[in-house]
Structure 1
Amino acid sequence: MNQQSVQKILLIGSKKSGKTQLLSTYQNEQYTGYIQTIGVDFCVKTLQLNINGKQHTTKLQIWDTAGEERFQTITTSYFRGASGVVLLFNVNDADSFKSCQKYLTQIEIQCSNEPKILLLGNSFSKERQVCTDEAVYFAEQHNLMYAELTEHNYRNIENIFVRLASGILYMQQDIVQ
């Protein structure tokens, strides 16, 4: 029997962390480069997953929120009902990484449930300011999944959303059982 679900996924992070680039590349299945979001954008993707031997059709509603402070009053309303969050930072920008703590606090305050969170380090050049070990440590301290993307491995975007959706479904099954 194929089970079906709809999962609301938020992409959050500071400006120029790669949220819109991630969404656009995932939606169009090709690397798109930098694009700025004004307010909020979204796409829908359907995944076929096998969780504990059961087939699941999961529809992801992926919401891209603007990272600029002036849009915060708009974007925080999208936190409600989120079952998953991709928290992005730019590994070439230490301030982008430091802002992750602020976004975790926002998630805690704004989300009505406890969403599954994946911390995603995005790299746009070779001048890295945040080392992988530092990001992995932060993720472990906050019980987050962790992954990294570069413009060279953007083909792995599907794997990131499969991993997050699977984590959400496992978490929801633990609640149900």
Structure 2
Amino acid sequence: MSKQHQDYDAILKLLLVGDSGVGKSCLMVRYSDDLYSGTYISTIGVDFKVKTVMHDGCTIKLMIWDTAGQEKFRSMTASYYRDAHGVMVVYDVTDPTSFSHVQTWLTEIDSTCQDIVKILVGNKTDSPLRKISKTEGEACARKYNLNLYETSAKLDLNVTEAFTELVDQVMERKRTLECRPRGNTILVKKEKKKRNKDCSCME
């Protein structure tokens, strides 16, 4: 790990994708800053936040990218998939069109990334105008073998849980890839002082 990254056991890049207006910015800001505003304008290109979390004794720096959902920014969004570790595919439970576009977003991700962790998020569950049931969301998640989290950025429901699940899956994937057996030997880097042993493959 380089000197500028020595305070972290891992740096993860996470993306939020989905149609414009599904609440990606609200989810990101609620998680990173514990704030909510109902007056966000559509993201132009990309925006990002940085958050440091602890995971099994490891210090993880999260770089969370909120990508624009408008068609004109799709080519820009696609370029951010390539070095990402995890992606949250977000739809609005009050907007059937955003739900129907989940497949499009997943296809776009899979065409760009060979190995990336994905979870599905249905946002705005606080709204009385809900049109996509949890049962429908769960059926979609099963179809694509994803975990589903229904969230409300406004009420701070399941937001932290969704991000935590994404980080958990990414870290497990990193351990699987970086600590994989080679012959009869497990490739594990030398543990640093004061680092939890579970972090040794993350450096």
Say yes or no: TM over 0.5: yes
How many residues align? The count is 171
Structure with bigger gyration radius: 2
Query: Over aligned residue pairs, what C-alpha RMSD do you find?
Result: 1.7
Taking the aligned partners of 2:128 and 2:15, their CA distance within structure 1 comes to 27
More moved, 98-107 vs 145-154 = 145-154
The structure where helix makes up a greater share of residues is 1
Aligned 8 A contact 1:116 1:144 in 2: no
Q: Secondary structure at the match of 2:9?
A: strand
Q: Which residue of 2 aligns with 1:117?
A: 118
Aligned to 1:6: 11
Query: Identity of counterpart residues, as a percentage?
Result: 35
| Residue aligning to 2:186 | none
1:111-143 CA-partner distances (Å, limit 9, x unpaired) = 2x3211110001152111111011111112211
Tell me the secondary structure at the aligned position of residue 79 of structure 1: coil
Q: Offset at 1:157?
A: 2.1
The answer as to whether partners of 1:20 and 1:34 remain within 8 angstroms in 2 is no
Alignment deviations for residues 32-62 of structure 1 (CA, whole Å, 9 cap, x no partner): 2241211100011111011xxxx22111111
2:73 is matched with 71
* 2:8 and 2:61 in contact (8 A); partners too: no
**Paired residues for 1:155-170 under 5 Å:** 156-170=158-172
CA apart distance, 1:28: 2.2
- Counting only pairs closer than 5 Å after superposition, residues 1-150 of structure 1 correspond to structure 2 as 4-35=9-40, 36-50=42-56, 55-111=57-113, 113-123=114-124, 125-150=127-152
What stretches of structure 1 of length at least 5 have no aligned partner?
none
Report the equivalent of 1:174.
176
CA contact (8 A) 1:21 1:32 kept: yes
Which range moves more in the overlay, 91-100 or 133-142?
Answer: 133-142
Please report the TM-score for the alignment, with normalisation by the length of structure 1: 0.89
Report the TM-score, using the length of structure 2 for normalisation: 0.79
Residue pair 2:13, 2:83 contacting (<8 A) in 1 also: yes
Matched residue type, 2:45: G
Task: Specify the SS of the correspondent of 2:80.
Answer: helix
Unaligned runs of 5+ in 2: 1-6, 181-203
C-alpha change, 1:154 and 1:103, in structure 2 (3 Å) is same
